Structure 1
Amino acid sequence: MSPAQEAAAPDFPSPLRGAATFSIRHRLLRMSWRLVWAALAHWTPPPAHRWRNFLLRLCGADIARSARIYGDVVVWWPPHLSMGEHASLGPGVTCYNVATIRLEPFAIVSQRAHLCSATHDCDDPAFPLRARAISIGAYAWVAAEAFVGPGVKVGEGAVLGARGLAVRDLTAWTIYGGNPATPLRARRRPA
């Protein structure tokens, strides 16, 4: 990890292998969040977006009123989630937001996609967690079962095709596919 990337990462402790990365308080808060979501949102019907948005906002997320979040979405930590107007997290999305994950207006993350904002430094014997923010630009689309890794910026209007793997930034208004994601062609901008 470069010095600039190191500086941008959240200040998490660097425990010895096997030691807890997060405080007991933080783990209890996350467990409480999971219980709240399971009891009050996970089972709700698809049209109950406003209710789920309300619960996320109540727990610290920055969610626009017109955003759409499905009940079986997994949000690791609500205060690290930000969604603009008409942004969408589809059914079964995993949002592992150790660092902030931001969806700009009209960004779509389709079913069972995985947004993963953290990894471990496998070269460090302590195996510390390294978190880097993810940004999904306006009008971008992360298609079904795709994976977006830590620190990736999906540019405005970019598309990551189904089951694609993005570990580097995706250029605006470009369609990507594959593992690792490679540019396929330019995407036409709306009129």
Structure 2
Amino acid sequence: MSSSALLDASAAKPSEGGASYSLGNRLMRVFWKFTWLILASWTPPPLHRYRVAILRMFGADIDWTAHVYSNVKIWLPSNLVMEPHACLGPGVNCYCMARIRLRRGAIISQGTTLCAATHDIRDPDFQLVAKPIQVGEGAWVAAEAFVGPGVSIGDRAVIGARSVLCRDAEEEGVYVGNPATLIKKRGGSNCK
């Protein structure tokens, strides 16, 4: 998605109900949601390649071995990158207003939210700020976790169920809680 699709909040006034994105972007997303609803949302779990094909038609950069479940929510496929064997589990909300990259073998478990945008709360016009998310190779984001804008998760890191991660997670780190805190390394050594 081009950065020109993001509107200037001082003109668009999103805090007063105005749009944050251009009309073309909004129309594309309506077409995308309708297409996913009709062609993919009802499909059984084993049809990953079929769903990958649909995502690729809408600009997603996804390896054919990736797993995408039928009831995921993907804001804009052209902002999604999934390397081999990466997985978006059931009910994941992939709010990819900026690029979201899942490296090889990254697993995003059911009910998780990957949120690649926020608003600048210091700006009186409430400007939208989109920041990319990267999930490292072999990393696991467990059920119902939240990963915020601009976060980079290191290779083989684990983000515990229902954790809220708003800062980068180091390689092999195990994080739990709200806010998510490093409690140990995946190999077993405690961090306290």
Same fold at TM > 0.5: yes
Cα distance in 2 between the residues matched to 1:23 and 1:133: 20
Count matched residues.
Answer: 180
- Can you list the C-alpha shifts for 1:40-89, whole angstroms capped at 9, x where unaligned? 00110000000000000011000001000000000000000000000000
Question: Could you say which residue in structure 2 is the equivalent of 1:14?
Answer: 8
TM-score calculated relative to the size of structure 2: 0.91
**Residues 51-90 of structure 1 aligned to structure 2 (within 5 Å):** 51-90=50-89
Deviation at 1:148, TM superposition (A): 0.2
Cα distance in 2 between the residues matched to 1:162 and 1:174: 14
**Residues 78-117 of structure 1 aligned to structure 2 (within 5 Å):** 78-117=77-116
Matched letter for residue 38 of structure 2: A
Which structure 1 segments of 5+ residues have no match?
1-9
Deviation at 1:21, TM superposition (A): 1.3
Matched letter for residue 173 of structure 2: T
CA RMSD of aligned residues (A): 1.1
Question: Could you say which residue in structure 2 is the equivalent of 1:147?
Answer: 146
Cα distance in 2 between the residues matched to 1:21 and 1:148: 21
Deviation at 1:106, TM superposition (A): 0.2
Question: Could you say which residue in structure 2 is the equivalent of 1:37?
Answer: 36
Which structure 2 segments of 5+ residues have no match?
none
User: How high is the sequence identity, in percent, across the aligned residues?
Assistant: 49
TM-score calculated relative to the size of structure 1: 0.92
Deviation at 1:187, TM superposition (A): 0.5
Matched letter for residue 164 of structure 2: L
- Can you list the C-alpha shifts for 1:81-105, whole angstroms capped at 9, x where unaligned? 0000000000000000000000000
